């Protein structure tokens, strides 16, 4: 069984997220999603509309996702890859090069983002972010 892992906040879930998860699942048999906790999002400077538990329910309901785990730190990725026997780490190409160090543990794939949509764009258009 080929296992894939990806990570994200997945707040304001949209079709770009679904595209990423679908393409990630196409790379293997079992997709694990590391979902950023509220505490980790605070460290990253992100504020979510939905709680961790609400976001977890949303992600678990997507047919491409087999398992959702909490993402609590940047450093946990290596342990997750080892503990879950992951074959491929997948992330959006806006992170290109940032996770190359994981190539010592598994294949690293940077998938192109869906260019016309993002959570930031949605928040901007709804007036939720002010410059």
Could you count the other beta carbons within 10 Å of the beta carbon of residue 77?
A: 21
Q: How far apart are CA 11 and CA 19, in angstroms?
A: 15
CA distances from 44 to 77, 88, 118, 124 (A): 16, 24, 17, 19
Task: Point out the catalytic residue in the list 2, 22, 25, 44.
Answer: 44
The verdict on whether 46 is a catalytic residue reads: yes
With tokens 């196409």, the residue in question is 26
Task: Point out the catalytic residue in the list 46, 47, 57, 98.
Answer: 46
The verdict on whether 25 is a catalytic residue reads: no
The residues assigned a catalytic role are 44, 46
């Amino acid at each position: 069984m080929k296992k894939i892992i990806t990570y994200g906040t997945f707040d304001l879930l949209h079709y770009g997220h679904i595209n990423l998860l679908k393409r990630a699942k196409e790379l293997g048999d079992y997709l694990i999603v590391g979902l950023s906790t509220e505490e980790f999002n605070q460290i990253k400077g992100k504020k979510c509309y939905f709680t961790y538990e609400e976001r977890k329910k949303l992600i678990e309901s997507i047919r491409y996702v087999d398992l959702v785990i909490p993402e609590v730190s940047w450093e946990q990725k290596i342990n997750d890859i080892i503990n879950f026997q992951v074959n491929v780490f997948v992330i959006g190409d806006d992170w290109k090069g940032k996770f190359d160090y994981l190539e010592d543990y598994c294949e690293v794939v940077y998938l192109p983002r869906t260019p016309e949509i993002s959570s930031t764009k949605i928040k901007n258009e709804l007036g939720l972010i002010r410059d």
